[in-house]
Structure 1
Amino acid sequence: MATTERDQAAVSPDDCELGSLVKDTARNKVGVVMGHYGGDRVQLRPIMGGAEWDAFDVRPLTAREELNARNAARNEATRQGL
C-alpha cells in the first residue's frame, strides 16, 4: 500500500488491506493492519510484534516511510539476534 508523497490523505479503515503497513496519525506510529472493527477503526500491531491497538485515523505510508520502517524492524531483529 506504499504511496507517493502526494497521497497523504487519511483513508477509511475499511480501505486498509490486512497485513499492510499504515501510519496511525493520532499516535504517529506505524503498524501492521491486523483487522477491521466496527467500520470506523482498524486494529494495528507493531512491525516487530507486541500489543495491538485501535486506530481511527490512518494513512498509507509513502514508499520512503515503508522502506524506513521495514529497515528499522530488520535492524532491531538483528540487534536482538533474531
Structure 2
Amino acid sequence: MNRPPQVGTILVDTTAERLGEFRGLAGPYWSLRPVCGGAEWDAEPEHVRPANPAERMHAETARCNARSRGEVL
C-alpha cells in the first residue's frame, strides 16, 4: 500500500499478524486499533496489508458480538 487507506479500513500488521482498524497517521507510521477495542499501536506502512474478505468478516463478527455483550469499543 502506498497511500494511507480511509479511516476505519481493516488491515493486517504482518509483523504481529494482528488485525487493526486504520485510525490515522502517527508521523511515518500508521496508527491501528484492535477492531474490538483496545490500545492503538503504530505500524510501519510497508508491513501492513489489506485484510482479505475472510479476515474482514471475522473482525466485523467479533465487533458485533462484543457490542451485543455490552463491551466498550
* Larger RCO, structure (CA 8 Å, separation 6 or more): 1
Give the RMSD, CA atoms, in angstroms: 1.6
Distance apart, 1:73 and its partner CA: 2.0
- The normalised TM-score by structure 1 is 0.71
Alignment partner for residue 26 of structure 1, among 6, 12, 15? 15
Tell me which moved more, 14-23 or 50-59: 14-23
Q: Structure 2, unaligned stretches of length 5 or more?
A: none
In the alignment, the residues of structure 2 paired with residue 51 and residue 20 of structure 1 have an alpha-carbon distance, to the nearest angstrom, of: 17
Note the residue ranges of structure 1 that are not aligned, 5 or more in a row.
Answer: 1-10
Q: What SS does structure 1 have at the residue aligned with 2:63? A: helix
Q: 2:23 aligns to what SS in structure 1?
A: strand
Q: Percent identity?
A: 35
Inter-partner Cα distance in structure 2 for 1:81 and 1:51: 18
Count of residue pairs the alignment pairs up? 69
Among 49, 52, 55, the alignment partner of 2:43 is 55
Q: Measure how far apart 1:65 and its partner are.
A: 1.3
> In structure 2, what is the equivalent of residue 77 of structure 1?
67
Residue pair 2:10, 2:56 contacting (<8 A) in 1 also:
yes
Structure 1 segments, 4+ long, off by >3 Å, are: none
Residue identity in the other structure for 1:22: L
State the structure with more CA Rg. 1
